[in-house]
Structure 1
Amino acid sequence: MIERDGLGAAARGLRQYLLAVAAKLDVPAWFCDVDAPAGAYLALERRLTRFPGHETALLWDERDGWAAAVESATGEDVIVLAYLGGDVLPPPETVVAFVRDLYGEEYPGQPDPPGFRRAGAPDGFDERLAAHAGDTVPLPEGHS
């Protein structure tokens, strides 16, 4: 279970993992929540041509991994378009390829949530996150 005070190795690892993905995508903004289930939101710079009036984002959570989404017309909700699938913590390069394909002609990934795991399950997930805790990812210029 991710230490909920945000200071544990798993929480630090989640932050470093998300920083790595955000840096590779040069996202303008992102945030994460380590409360169960842990999740993250990464704003993407470009809009999808098939949804020009809607902001585009990447979502991540500890159950289903990465998903591509657009904000609803009101901006209060997000609508998931596709899930990356494959792994709850894929390499950042895999996430980058998913985003690149998202802007192509077809939807990448899968339409249904993969349901990789149950939040808080003792399945080695925290150890996988903690392995990223020592990673150092430089922030892109202009980000803090």
Structure 2
Amino acid sequence: MIERDGLGAAARGLRQYLLAVAAELDAPAWFCEVDAPATAYLALERRLERFPDHETALLWDERDGWAAAVESATGEDVVVLAYLGADVLPAPAAVVAFVHGLYEDDYPGQPDPPDFRRPGAPDGFDERLAAYAGDETVCLPEGQA
């Protein structure tokens, strides 16, 4: 189980993983929560042609992995367009390919949540996250957590 105090290797690994994905996508902002279930939000710079009036983002959670979303008309909610599927922690390059497919109107991913795992299940997830932590200290730009 992710050490929910934010100091454990899995929590540090989650932040490093998200930082790697955000860097690959040149995401202007991102944040994560390590409370059960762990979640993340990455703002994307570009808007989708089919939703020109709505901000585009990537969502991640420890149950379903990555999803592409747009903000609702009010900006208070997000509407999921597609789930990447395949794995709850795919390589950052796979996430980048998913995003490129969205902008190319390839309609990548799948419409339904993949439901990969249950938060807290002893399935090796925390160890996979901890592998991203390495020995590096996470340095976050101001306003990101």
Aligned counterpart, 1:54: 54
Aligned counterpart, 2:79: 79
Count of residues in Structure 1 that have an aligned counterpart in Structure 2: 142
Structure 1 position 6 matched with structure 2 position 11: no
Unaligned stretches of 5+ residues in structure 2: none
Once the two structures are superposed, the pairs formed by residues 28-43 of structure 1 within 5 Å of their partners are 28-43=28-43
Letter of the 2:80 counterpart = V
Letter of the 2:78 counterpart = V
SS of the equivalent of 2:59 reads strand
CA distance in 1 between counterparts of 2:139 and 2:84 reads 25
SS of the equivalent of 1:73 reads coil
Deviation at 1:121, TM superposition (A): 0.6
Deviation at 1:135, TM superposition (A): 6.4
Aligned counterpart, 1:117: 117
Letter of the 2:20 counterpart = A
CA distance in 2 between counterparts of 1:83 and 1:114 reads 7
CA distance in 2 between counterparts of 1:41 and 1:134 reads 22
Contact 2:16 2:138 in 1 (8 A): no
Moved over 4 A (4+): 135-140
Quick one: structure 1 residues 114 and 135, their matched pair in 2 at CA, closer, same or farther if it must change by over 3 Å? farther
CA distance in 2 between counterparts of 1:137 and 1:81 reads 34
Letter of the 2:29 counterpart = A
**TM-score, with normalisation over the residues of structure 1?**
0.94
Alpha-carbon displacement from aligned partner over 1:7-50 (angstroms, at most 9, x marks no partner): 00000000000000000001000000000000000000000000
Identity of aligned residues (%): 82
CA distance in 2 between counterparts of 1:106 and 1:97 reads 11
**TM-score, with normalisation over the residues of structure 2?**
0.93
RMSD in angstroms over aligned alpha carbons?
A: 1.6
Deviation at 1:107, TM superposition (A): 1.0
Contact 1:19 1:137 in 2 (8 A): no
Aligned counterpart, 1:69: 69
CA distance in 1 between counterparts of 2:43 and 2:19 reads 13
